[in-house]
Amino acid sequence: MAFELAPLPYAHDALAPFMGEETLQLHHGKHHQTYVTNLNNLIKGTALEGQSLDAIVKASYGDPAKAGIFNNAGQHWNHELFWQAMKKNGGGAIPGGLESRIKADFGSVEAFKEAFTQAGLTQFGSGWAWLVEDGGKLKVTKTPNGENPLAHGQHALLGCDVWEHAYYLDYRNRRADYLKAFLESLVNWEFVASRLA
């Protein structure tokens, strides 16, 4: 069965003013839809057709002959996590279990937020900033383009899209302002905590 674009888990105007209606219409309805359409076309009639998205991401990573499949499968995977990891009136308190893990591995919530923000700011060009579980520890990472923690054997808890299409309409060139709004006003911390192993 072909992959399908799931509806957003909130209305297109639910995240405004931190992520505006036009951004969500284009980002979800056009950019994400294009990754899904491209992925379906690229795997049609190949051994990957009918496999799970996770399996396709892992099977195509690092194979130059499957770069197009990986880019689109990775971006479909990344955006599915990204939409769920935000909510209306997001940000705020981090659930206790997750907060304890963050304090244990980063020293403080502030130190985690600084590391996450720096990862997003220093990802040159398009890519993602992540909070991952890796070998029982929480870590902050960054990846270029459609690459993701799954390809690196890590478990993603939170991802922030730092491609310009994610923030340019709302923040222009101010990626730092977007990252701050993401952490303080958009993240669904209950969802992030629910992904802890």
Interface ranges with Mn ion (CB under 5 A): 161, 163
Residue 181: CB minimum distance to Mn ion, A: 16
Nearest approach in angstroms of CB 86 to Mn ion is 12
Name the residue whose CB lies closest to Mn ion: 161
Q: How far is the CB of 135 from Mn ion (least distance, A)?
A: 28
Q: For Mn ion, give the closer residue by CB, 28 or 101.
A: 28
Closer residue to Mn ion in complex, CB, 163/171: 163
* Helix (H), strand (E), coil (C) string for the chain: CCCCCCCCCCCCCCCCCCCCHHHHHHHHHHHHHHHHHHHHHHHCCCCCCCCCHHHHHHHHCCCHHHHHHHHHHHHHHHHHHHHHCECCCCCCCCCHHHHHHHHHHHCCHHHHHHHHHHHHHHCCCCEEEEEEEECCEEEEEEEECCCCHHHHCCEEEEEEECCHHHHHHHHCCCHHHHHHHHHHHHECHHHHHHCCC
**Residue with smaller CB distance to Mn ion, 36 or 102:** 36
Taking the complex as a whole, the smallest distance from the CB of residue 78 to Mn ion amounts, in Å, to: 7
Comparison of 163 and 182: residue with beta carbon closer to Mn ion: 163
